[in-house]
Amino acid sequence: MLVGQSNVIILCMEKEKVFKRTYQNMKALHQGNIDCHDDFKQYTWELKQYWFDGYENESPEYSGRIFLHANCRYEMFFDSLKKNIDEYMKHLNVDHEKLSYFISKSWVGYHDKETPGLNVHNHNEANISFVYYLKSTDKSDKFCITQHTNSNENTGALFQTGQRNLLTTFNKYNCNNYTITPTEGTVLLFPSDTLHSTIKSEDNEERIVIAGDVRVTLKPEYSNYHQACTHPTLWLEL
């Protein structure tokens, strides 16, 4: 499933006509289920400890512990993740059969009332990024997408607010931020250059995620296509 608001859109197939007619430059996120979630929850405590065992309590992302995908016990999750990436590509009408996916980074994220929210950032070195909600509730920190520009803002600072406003209320066409309440057992996929952050909730209930980055390349037999990077087996390291 794809969903959306503002310059971010999560498409549902039944809204395809609306998408084609109305949204021209929107970003697309995929929200799907991890089909092995019930089984994978057995690793919740282990992954939580992995986060706390970091160097000077730094998060794994910033202390070099970014290779969860190298652990064969987590293979079931990454198999399910691939299915979701395929679905994402299908919604974009991309022939995923010609593509290969490579996990370049994957790490644990942990948040509760003691941990700060994530500042606005992106992952420019990758193609697709993901967040899997291993443990969360509707009172956990929210996921927020930010756009500095709005393609619907057709006149100057039409959507800016201040002492005097032309904007009467915010809706999905005129706002630059979109928040998503995490749902346990689901994964979010989005273009890696998307600016995103977390918004602290008042309850700050515990949230444990697996996040990471994906590089997308052509399969070796499709190296004569120019729309994506060639497969790493065809590269030369200097």
- Phi and psi at 28, nearest 5°, equal -120, 130
Task: List the chain domain ranges.
Answer: 32-150+177-234
From first to last of its 238 residues, the chain has per-residue pLDDT tens of: 544 433 344 443 334 443 333 444 467 889 999 999 999 999 999 988 877 775 455 666 666 688 999 999 999 999 999 999 999 999 889 999 999 999 999 999 888 777 777 788 889 999 999 999 999 888 888 888 887 777 777 887 787 777 778 888 877 777 777 788 889 999 999 999 988 888 877 776 788 999 999 999 999 999 999 999 999 999 999 9
Helix (H, G, I), strand (E, B) or coil at 45: helix
Residue-wise pLDDT for 89-129, tens only, equals 998 899 999 999 999 999 998 887 777 777 888 899 999 99
Helix (H, G, I), strand (E, B) or coil at 186: strand
Task: Specify the pLDDT at position 205.
Answer: 77
Please provide the size of the chain in residues.
Answer: 238
Answering whether pTM is above 0.85, one says: no
CA distance 55 to 141: 24
CA distance 154 to 157: 8
Q: Which residues contact 64 (CB under 8 A, 6 or more apart)?
A: none
Query: Which among 85, 189, 88 is positioned nearest to 132, based on CA atoms?
Result: 189
Helix (H, G, I), strand (E, B) or coil at 60: helix
Helix (H, G, I), strand (E, B) or coil at 167: coil
CA distance 206 to 111: 6
Q: What is the architecture, at CATH level 2, of domain 32-150+177-234?
A: Sandwich (2.60)
Task: Specify the pLDDT at position 214.
Answer: 97
